[in-house]
Amino acid sequence: MVVTRMGKITERRARVKRNSGVESKMKKARRHVRLKRVYEKPSKEDGVRILVERLWPRGLTKEKARIDLWPKEIAPSDGLRKWFGHDPAKWDDFRKRYEAELKKKKEAIERLRRKVGEGDVTFVYAARDEAHNSAVALKRFLGF
């Protein structure tokens, strides 16, 4: 029981202490989805590295990339990728079109959600623009 400045009695602190064990379990259950350029050095914090591009990144060996999963079917279609051309002026339209494509790929998205539920993952992308790329759009679509 706590008396506030206004003289009201509350059990807030007691509730928080009682629930702290539950809260810590919930924090452990939350999974992180990180974004990282494929050309950056892999790290242990990356968790499962998922390449979210349709094409393999130029000049990079599979050993250096250390990709764990490459679900090409979740990448933007060739037509959409070419139309976008990483032009920031087209970002909003790209994101809407890409989300429309993703909504049609329910099984692939569900497999990806399950993988994220298993532990931390990093969506790996090749684009130079860190704010306007398919990994950013995919993470937003999945709600992470």
Number of domains making up the chain: 2
Based on the domain organization, do 69 and 132 belong to the same domain? yes
Residue 32: what pLDDT? 84
Note whether 142 and 33 are within 8 A (CB). Answer: yes
- Chain segment 91-142, per-residue pLDDT in tens: 999 999 999 999 999 999 999 999 999 999 999 999 999 999 999 999 999 9
- State the helix-helix crossing angle for 134-142 and 106-118, rounded to 10 degrees: 80
Residue 17: what pLDDT? 41
Residue 91: what pLDDT? 97
Based on the domain organization, do 95 and 107 belong to the same domain? yes
Range of the structural domain that residue 9 is part of: 1-30
Based on the domain organization, do 26 and 48 belong to the same domain? no
Distance CA 12, CA 96 (A): 43
Q: Which conformational region is residue 139 in: left (phi greater than 0), alpha (psi within -120 to 50 degrees), or beta?
A: alpha
Based on the domain organization, do 43 and 26 belong to the same domain? no
Residue scoring higher pLDDT (144 or 24): 144
Residue 26 has pLDDT above 70, yes or no: no
Based on the domain organization, do 36 and 25 belong to the same domain? no
pLDDT category, 144, cuts 50, 70, 90? confident
Q: Which conformational region is residue 49 in: left (phi greater than 0), alpha (psi within -120 to 50 degrees), or beta?
A: beta
Distance CA 12, CA 57 (A): 52
Based on the domain organization, do 76 and 20 belong to the same domain? no
Based on the domain organization, do 92 and 42 belong to the same domain? yes
Based on the domain organization, do 55 and 108 belong to the same domain? yes
Based on the domain organization, do 63 and 16 belong to the same domain? no
Based on the domain organization, do 81 and 95 belong to the same domain? yes
